[in-house]
């Protein structure tokens, strides 16, 4: 692949991260916060929740972690420009491992649904129905996340400032909940 083609692919991928035609990705104008120049905290009006997003340009990988208030659960979405063989009519047994240094903090398993992005050929795996609050706590303490398929690590990503990002995510969600129900009890 020529450097011009690779650059074009990376630009298209980074633009596609926030324009994906998938309910797990939302309007790019609803930015709540930017954390340490790495994470963006955004509001997804369709899911009535907030999420963290980052585009790892060198890896061609998009990562999104958020809340779906329609189902009162969390989700993880990961996509890569090289994952051309993903099929939209299949489910994939995916495990996710959160780590701090050499210590595994959480591992969870899920059947991931797949959606296909139309603009940059970015295919994503979305793991839904995450209800264990320990996972978001472990994410805040983590410095890396691994996505594993068929006993093979398909994506391993650094998570700088995850604690600050989760704090901002929770603040965003509390404000979003309050905005939707101004009579709800405010949390400190």
Residue-by-residue DSSP string for 63-100: EEEEEETTTTEEEEEEEETT-TT--TT--EEEEEEEEE
* Beta-carbon contacts of residue 115 (< 8 Å; ≥ 6 apart): 20, 21, 22, 24, 88, 123, 124, 126
**Taking a C-beta distance cutoff of 8 angstroms, is the pair 144, 138 a contact?**
no
Q: Domain of 86? A: 3-180
Q: Is residue 188 part of a domain?
A: no
* Beta-carbon contacts of residue 24 (< 8 Å; ≥ 6 apart): 44, 47, 64, 66, 75, 77, 115, 124, 126
Q: Is the pLDDT of residue 13 over 70?
A: no
Q: Is the pLDDT of residue 167 over 70?
A: yes
At residue 114 the predicted structure's pLDDT band, cuts being 50, 70 and 90, is: low
The size of the chain, in residues, is 188
Higher pLDDT, 69 or 22: 69
Q: Is residue 42 part of a domain?
A: yes
* Beta-carbon contacts of residue 92 (< 8 Å; ≥ 6 apart): 86, 111, 112, 114, 125, 149
Number of structural domains found in the chain: 1
- Please state the φ and ψ torsions of residue 57, each to the nearest 5 degrees: -60, -45
Q: Report pLDDT for 158.
A: 95
Q: Is residue 159 part of a domain?
A: yes
- Mean pLDDT calculated for residue range 9-16: 37
Q: Residue 173 sits in a domain of what CATH number?
A: 2.60.40.1880
User: In whole angstroms, how far apart are CA 110 and each of 93, 107, 125?
Assistant: 6, 10, 11
Q: Report pLDDT for 119.
A: 46
Q: Is residue 129 part of a domain?
A: yes
What pLDDT, in 10s, does the model give residues 63-108? 999 988 888 888 898 999 898 888 877 888 898 999 998 888 888 8
**Taking a C-beta distance cutoff of 8 angstroms, is the pair 62, 77 a contact?**
yes
Question: pTM of the entire structure?
Answer: 0.78
What pLDDT, in 10s, does the model give residues 116-166? 654 467 888 888 888 888 888 999 999 999 999 999 999 999 999 999 999
Q: Is residue 107 part of a domain?
A: yes
Q: Is residue 185 part of a domain?
A: no
- Mean pLDDT calculated for residue range 37-48: 89
Q: Is the pLDDT of residue 113 over 90?
A: no
* Token reading at 80: 């890569």
């Amino acid at each position: 692949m020529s450097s011009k083609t690779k650059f074009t692919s990376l630009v298209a991928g980074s633009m596609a991260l926030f324009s994906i035609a998938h309910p797990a990705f939302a309007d790019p104008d609803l930015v709540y916060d930017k954390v340490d120049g790495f994470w963006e905290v955004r509001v997804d009006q369709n899911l009535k929740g907030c999420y963290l997003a980052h585009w790892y340009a060198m890896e061609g990988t998009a990562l999104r972690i958020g809340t779906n208030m329609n189902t009162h659960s969390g989700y993880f979405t990961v996509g890569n420009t090289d994952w051309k063989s993903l099929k939209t009519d299949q489910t994939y047994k995916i495990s996710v491992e959160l780590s701090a240094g050499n210590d595994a903090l959480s591992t969870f398993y899920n059947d991931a649904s797949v959606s296909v992005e139309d603009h940059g050929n970015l295919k994503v795996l979305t793991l839904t129905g995450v209800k264990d609050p320990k996972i978001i706590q472990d994410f805040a303490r983590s410095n890396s996340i691994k996505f594993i398929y068929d006993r093979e690590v398909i994506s391993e990503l650094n998570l700088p400032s995850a604690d600050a990002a989760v704090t901002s995510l929770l603040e965003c969600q509390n404000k979003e909940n309050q905005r939707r129900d101004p009579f709800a009890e405010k949390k400190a």
